[in-house]
Amino acid sequence: MSPVTNSKSPIVRWFHALAVAEGYSFLLLLFIAMPLKYMAGIPMAVKLAGSLHGALFVAYAASALFLFTHAKWPLDRIPGVLYASILPFGTFVLERRWLRESV
């Protein structure tokens, strides 16, 4: 079984969990925290959600590096992983398309 489809790979499982968490944190920031800041005058919502999302984004990026170097994911998937991290709902598409088959 190749490393890409190895369901026991802790790197792939860890990346999968981070991709989903990063996706939810991004949606929390965009659709809950930012409206609270600009419509309800609660700037602390963005500080908290932004800090959480920033930490999860860094962890997502670091785990993506391990995914390509240690789990030997195909390099042609790098743009997809990068785009998924900056588009709303992108990590959920990534999770459904590439990660469910690997976890």
pLDDT digits (tens, 9 = 90+) for 31-57: 999 999 999 999 999 999 999 999 999
For the chain, give the mean pLDDT.
86
pLDDT for the residue 101:
59
Phi-psi category of residue 89: left, alpha or beta, with phi > 0 → left and psi -120 to 50 → alpha: left
Question: What's phi and psi for 70, nearest 5 deg?
Answer: -100, -35
Amino acid at the residue 18: L
pLDDT band at 1 (very low <50, low <70, confident <90, very high): very low
How far apart are alpha carbons 77 and 74 in whole angstroms? 6
